[in-house]
Chains A and B, each alone.
Chain A
C-alpha cells in the first residue's frame, strides 16, 4: 500500500432525494447528503437506516427514488466505481476456511492485480490493521477482533480514495479499538473520504468531528459534533435515587438552582431533573448526609444513547 489515495475519481459521495422501501417500510426517507474528503461519522440507533444508506452508497441496493453517486458514478450500475471504493461490511461473514492473507489476496485480485502484487498489498493492509502476526491463521479460528481487522484490510488493500466502514469497531478489544481509531483518522488525514457508521457516540467522536445523524430513516442532524455536545450540556437530565425518606431529600434539593424538578415516585424513590449533572452529583451526598440518610441506589433513565438521540432529534428546533 502506498498510503496515499490513488489518482482516480474525485473522492465524494452524493445522495440526492433518496428513498428506500423494504416492502411498506420506509428504511430511508428523502435523504440528501454530500460528503467529501475527511472522516464523517454516520450516527444513529440500531435500525435507523445507517446500514441501508451504506448499502446504497456501496451499490448493493438501488434507491426507489432519488440518485446515489460516488465520484460521479452510479454504484449499482457502474462497477468501475469500486476501483475507488472500499467497503467493510457490517456482517461478520467470511469464506471461513481461508486464511486472513488468502482471503484479502483473493479479493484484491478481483481489482485486476496480479498474484504477487495482490499478495503484497494484502500483507501490507493486514499489517496496517495490526494483523501481521496472524495473517496466516484460518479465519474460522480468529477472534472477533481479528475478523473485524481482516474485514477492514480487504476494504483498504487496493488503496481506495473512498472508504465505507460499517460498525468497524464491533468486537474489538480496547487496544485494537485505539489502533483502528488511529487508522481511520490517518485515512481521513490522507484526504480520503471515509464514512464510519456507529451507534456509539464516543467511538465516532474519537475519530472525527463531522457527523451525520440518522433516525427512522431520516437525516436528523449534520455538522460538527461539538455543537451536539453543547446541546447535551443544556439537556435536562433525570436522576433516580432510592432512599428511606425521599420527601425530605426532595425538599432539600429542589431549592438548588440547577434542580428543575423533584418528584416522589413511591415511598422509597425520588426522581430529580437537573440541568447540571455534575453539580447534582456533588450536592446529593452532601444533602443526604446532612439529613442522616443513606442512599440505597442511584440510576438514570437518561444514561443510554437512545435517550440522547431522542433528545437531540425530537426536541423542538432540534439540530439540522
Chain B
C-alpha cells in the first residue's frame, strides 16, 4: 500500500472514530428511510434534501478543515516531515474527509431512489457532488481562516439565490448540476420563466469532475508553496 493511501485510511479511521461523525453516518440514512416509509415523503423531495443540502453541508463540515484542523492542532508537522509530496498528504487528508460524507450520503441517496435507474443516477450525483464540494471547501480552507462561514454563505445564500434566476445563470451553480445528474427537477420562479437546462447528464458529470480536479490541483499547488505551520 502506498504511504499516501495508508495516510488516507489512517485519517478516515480517525474521522469515523469520532462520535459526531458516527452520528451523521448512522442518522442520515435512517432519517431518509423514515421520511420515505413512515412519513411517505416523495422520493423526489428526499433526493433534493440529500443532494442539494446534505451533500454540500456535510462536505463543508468535513472538507473545510482538511488541513486547518491539523495546522491549529500543530500535528501537521508529523505528516509534513515525511518523504511524501505535500500535495499527496493533502490529497490523503481530503479523501479521509470525503469518506464520512460519502458513507452517510450514498445510502441515503439509495433510499431516496424510486427505481434502480434513479438510484444509480442519485448515487453517482451524491458521489461526484461529495468530491466536488469537499475539494472546493478544502481549497477554501487553505485560502481563508474561516471557511465555514464562507461555505455557509455559498450554500445557503449564493446557490440558493441563483437557482431560481431565469436563464443561464442558474447553471453556474453546483446544485443545478447535482440535480441534473441525479435526475431531479430544477426549480423555477414560475412556469413562464423556467430555469435553464444544464444539458445532458454527462455535461453535469463533467462539470462536477472538472471542479474536483481543478480544486484539488490548485490546492496541491498551494500546499507545496505555502508555509502552513503556526509560528506562535
B89 CB → nearest A CB, Å: 8
Pair B7/A110 contact, Cβ less than 8 Å: yes
Pair B14/A95 contact, Cβ less than 8 Å: yes
A95 to B17: give the CA distance in the assembly, Å. 12
Question: Can you list 12 A-B contacts with CB-CB less than 8 angstroms, sorted by A residue number?
Answer: A60-B80, A77-B224, A79-B82, A79-B83, A82-B81, A93-B75, A106-B10, A107-B78, A110-B3, A111-B3, A112-B3, A154-B78
Q: Which of A85, A87, A93 contacts B73 (CB 8 A)?
A: A93
A81 to B83: give the CA distance in the assembly, Å. 7
A97 to B75: give the CA distance in the assembly, Å. 13
B17 CB → nearest A CB, Å: 7
B82 CB → nearest A CB, Å: 4
Given contacts A82-B84, A97-B17, A110-B7, 6 further A-B contacts (CB under 8 A): A52-B231, A61-B231, A79-B82, A86-B81, A110-B6, A111-B83
Contact with A along B83-107 (1 / 0, CB 8 A): 1111000000000000000000000
**Contact residues, A78-118 vs B (CB, 8 A):** 79-83, 85-87, 89, 91, 93-95, 97, 106-107, 109-112
A112 to B224: give the CA distance in the assembly, Å. 20
A80 to B86: give the CA distance in the assembly, Å. 11
- Closest residue on chain B to residue A27 by CB atoms: B231
Q: Which of B10, B77, B81, B227 contacts A91 (CB 8 A)?
A: B77
Q: Which of B74, B79, B81 contacts A58 (CB 8 A)?
A: B81
Give me the interface of B with A, judged by CB distance under 8 Å: 3, 6-7, 10, 14, 17, 73-75, 77-86, 224, 227, 229, 231
- Closest residue on chain B to residue A102 by CB atoms: B10
Q: Which of B3, B7, B229 contacts A60 (CB 8 A)?
A: B229
- A95-B75, A110-B3, A110-B6 in contact; A60/B82 too (CB < 8 A)? no
CB of A246 within 8 Å of the partner chain: no
B93 CB → nearest A CB, Å: 12
Q: Which chain B residues border A238 with CB–CB below 8 Å?
A: none
Q: Which chain A residues border B81 with CB–CB below 8 Å?
A: 58-60, 82, 85-87
CB of A62 within 8 Å of the partner chain: yes
Pair B74/A93 contact, Cβ less than 8 Å: yes
Q: Which chain A residues border B86 with CB–CB below 8 Å?
A: 79
Pair A61/B227 contact, Cβ less than 8 Å: yes
Pair A79/B85 contact, Cβ less than 8 Å: yes
Q: For chains A and B in complex, what number of residue pairs have CB atoms within 8 angstroms?
A: 69
Q: Which chain B residues border A95 with CB–CB below 8 Å?
A: 14, 75
A224 to B17: give the CA distance in the assembly, Å. 51
Q: Which chain B residues border A61 with CB–CB below 8 Å?
A: 227, 229, 231
A30 CB → nearest B CB, Å: 19
Pair B83/A80 contact, Cβ less than 8 Å: yes
A80 to B6: give the CA distance in the assembly, Å. 18
A80 to B74: give the CA distance in the assembly, Å. 22
Pair A110/B85 contact, Cβ less than 8 Å: no
Pair B79/A110 contact, Cβ less than 8 Å: yes
CB of A55 within 8 Å of the partner chain: yes
**Contact residues, A10-58 vs B (CB, 8 A):** 22, 27, 52, 55, 58
**Contact residues, A129-164 vs B (CB, 8 A):** 154
- A52-B231, A60-B229, A106-B10 in contact; A91/B74 too (CB < 8 A)? yes
Q: Which of B7, B74, B75, B83 contacts A82 (CB 8 A)?
A: B83
Q: Which chain B residues border A58 with CB–CB below 8 Å?
A: 77, 81
Q: Closest 8 CB pairs between A and B?
A: A110-B82, A93-B74, A60-B229, A82-B83, A91-B74, A83-B83, A110-B3, A87-B81
- Closest residue on chain B to residue A84 by CB atoms: B83
- Closest residue on chain A to residue B87 by CB atoms: A79
Pair B77/A112 contact, Cβ less than 8 Å: no
A93 to B85: give the CA distance in the assembly, Å. 22
Q: Which chain B residues border A83 with CB–CB below 8 Å?
A: 83
- Closest residue on chain A to residue B88 by CB atoms: A79
A22 to B81: give the CA distance in the assembly, Å. 21
Q: Which chain B residues border A106 with CB–CB below 8 Å?
A: 6-7, 10
Q: Which chain B residues border A80 with CB–CB below 8 Å?
A: 83
A91 to B81: give the CA distance in the assembly, Å. 14
Q: Which chain B residues border A22 with CB–CB below 8 Å?
A: 231
Q: Which chain A residues border B84 with CB–CB below 8 Å?
A: 79, 82, 110
A85 to B80: give the CA distance in the assembly, Å. 12
Pair A107/B75 contact, Cβ less than 8 Å: no
A8 CB → nearest B CB, Å: 10
- Closest residue on chain B to residue A106 by CB atoms: B10
A178 CB → nearest B CB, Å: 27
Pair A109/B75 contact, Cβ less than 8 Å: no
